[in-house]
Chains A and B, each alone.
Chain A
Amino acid sequence: MSFELFSNLVGAFFTLAIFSFLYKDNPLYQMSEQLLVGISLGYSFVLSYERVFIPFFWQPIVLKHQFILIIPAIIGAFYLFRFSRKLSWLSRYPIAFSMMGTGASVALAMHSSILVQMRQAMVPIENFNLFLIFLGTVTVLLYFFFSKAHTGVYGKFVSIGKWFMMVGFGASFGLTVMARISLLIGRIQFLVNDVFAKIF
C-alpha cells in the first residue's frame, strides 16, 4: 500500500466517521469530533508560537533587546489571572488595552457601514431597478424604526420592507445551501476518486 493511499484511507475513515452522524449520534462521531477540536487547537497553538510568539515576543525582547516590550508581556500575562478568583480583575488590563481600538471603530464603522452605503444609495433614479433599490432600502430601514406604530398607510408602506427582506434572506439561504452542497460534492468526489477507485 502506497503512503498516498494510506493517507487517503485515514481521510476517508474520518470523513465516514463524521458522516455517521447522519444516522444517529454515535461513539465514532463523538471521538472524531473531539479529535478535530484537539488537532485544530494544537495546529493553531503551534502556528501561533511560530508566527506570533517568536517574531513579536521572543525576537524583539531576547535578540533585539527591546526590553520595553517586557511591560506589555507582563500585562498580557495578566490574562491568565482569569482563572483566579481573587485576582481575576487583573485580566481586565489586557482586555482594556485591546478595547482601546473601539475608538477607531466609531469612525471606521461610520465610514464603511453608513457613509459608503448612503453614497451608493443616493444615485439618480434613472431606471426601475434603481427605484426598487431605493424603495427597498428606505422601507427596510423604516421597518426597524419602532418609535412610530406600524399602522394605517404608514404600516402598509413599511411592510414593503419585510417583502424585500424575505427575498434577500431567501437568496442568502440559497447561496449558503449551494456552498454546503459543493463541499458535500467535494467529499463524495474524494471518497469515490481518491479512495474507492484506488482500492477496487
Chain B
Amino acid sequence: MKKTIPLIIVIAGGIVWLLWVFIPHRVMADDFYYKFYMPWARAMAPFAIILGVFSLSMMHTAKIRRRAPKWQYSYFFFAGFIATSLAGFIGGTQKGGLYMWMFENMAMPMSATMFSLLAFYMASAAYKAFRARSAEATVLLLAAIVVMLAQVPIGVKISKYLPNISQWILDVPNLAAKRGIMLGVGLGSVATTLKIMLGIERSYLGGD
C-alpha cells in the first residue's frame, strides 16, 4: 500500500505511455491521452503549486521562529508574496494593475540584475580557473576569447576573419563535442527511465 501500489502505477502507466508512442490508434491518442491523462494531470497540478507555496512559507516561518541567521529578511519574503498575491487576486492580472506593475518594476529589474551580476563572477571565476596552467585550459580559453570577441565590434576591427573563425569553432569542433555528449546523455536517460519503469530506481518515492 505504501510503496507497492505507487510502483505498480509507475510500471503499468509507464508501459501504457510507451505504447502511446508506438500505437497511433484512437484509443491511445484520444481516449488515453486527451480524455484521461491530460485532464487528470491538470486537475492534480494546482496541488503541486500549493505544495511549493506551503513548503517555502513553512521554511521561512521556521526560520523566524528559530531566530536563524538573517531571519529578519524572511519578513520581506512574506511581504512580497502577500502583496503580489493580493494585488493579483483583488486587482486582477491585466496590464496597468498593481500586480503587473510589481512584476515589471520590481521583479523584472531585480532578476535581470541578478543574472547580469553573473557576468562579473564568471569573469573572475574564469580568471582563476583558466590562467592557462595546462594546454587544455589554454585551448578552452582561446575558444572562449575568439567566440566572445567575434560578437562585439572590436573583434571585427582586430581581424576581419574573427567572425568566420568563431562560426567555424561553433559549427565544427563544438558540434562534434556536443553531439558526443548528447549521445551519452541520451543513452544515460534511456537507461535511467528504464530503471524507473522496471522498479529498480525508486529514490523518487522517498524513504520509508
Same complex: yes
Chain A positions near chain B (C-beta within 8 angstroms): 7-8, 10-12, 14-15, 17-19, 21-22, 27, 30-50, 52-53, 56-57, 60-61, 66, 69, 71-73, 75-80, 82-83, 88-89, 91-110, 112-114, 117-118, 120-121, 129, 132-141, 143-144, 161-178, 180-181, 183-184, 186-187, 190
Known: A39-B81, A99-B204. Is A56-B136 also a contact (CB below 8 A)? no
Within 8 Å CB of A94, what residues of B? 44, 47-48
In the complex, the answer to whether B177 meets A69 with C-beta atoms within 8 Å is no
Chain B 106-133, CB-CB to A under 8 Å as 1, else 0, gives 1111111111111110110010000000
How far in angstroms is the closest Cβ of chain B from A78?
8
A-B contact pairs, 23 of them (CB 8 A): A7-B105, A15-B109, A15-B113, A22-B117, A33-B73, A38-B77, A39-B103, A43-B102, A44-B49, A56-B39, A76-B43, A76-B47, A79-B48, A83-B54, A89-B1, A95-B205, A99-B196, A107-B22, A113-B189, A137-B183, A168-B174, A183-B112, A187-B112
Assuming A31-B76, A92-B6, A129-B171, is B197 touching A103 (CB within 8 A)? yes
Q: Which residue in B70, B104, B177 is a CB contact (below 8 Å) of A140? A: B177
The answer to whether B206 and A92 touch across the interface, beta carbons within 8 angstroms, is yes
Residue numbers in A under 8 Å from B15 (CB-CB) = 103
Asked whether A171 lies within 8 Å of B119 as measured between CB atoms, the reply is no
Contact, CB under 8 Å: A96 / B6: yes
The 8 Å CB contact of A77, one of B40, B47, B110, B140, is B47
Give the docked Cα–Cα distance between A113 and B179 (Å).
9
Q: Which residues of B contact A98 (CB under 8 A)?
A: 41, 44
Find chain A residues with CB under 8 A from B186 CB.
109-110, 112-114, 117
From A102, A141, A175, A181, give the contact of B193 (CB < 8 A). Answer: A102
Asked if A37 and B182 make an inter-chain contact with CB atoms under 8 angstroms apart, the answer reads: no
B42 CB, nearest partner CB in chain A, Å: 4
Contacts of B105 in A (CB 8 A): 7-8, 10-11
Main secondary structure of the interface of A (DSSP, over half): helix
Is B170 an interface residue when CB atoms closer than 8 A count as contact?
yes
Question: A88 CA to B6 CA in the complex, in Å?
Answer: 13
User: Within the complex, which residue of B16, B50, B111 is in contact with A80, where a contact is CB–CB below 8 Å?
Assistant: B50
**Is B154 close to A, CB under 8 A?**
no
- Answer whether A177 and B10 are a contact pair too, CB < 8 Å, given A32-B110, A88-B206: no
**How far does the alpha carbon of A190 sit from the alpha carbon of B116 in the complex, in Å?**
13
A97-B13 contact in complex given A57-B42, A89-B3, C-beta closer than 8 Å: yes
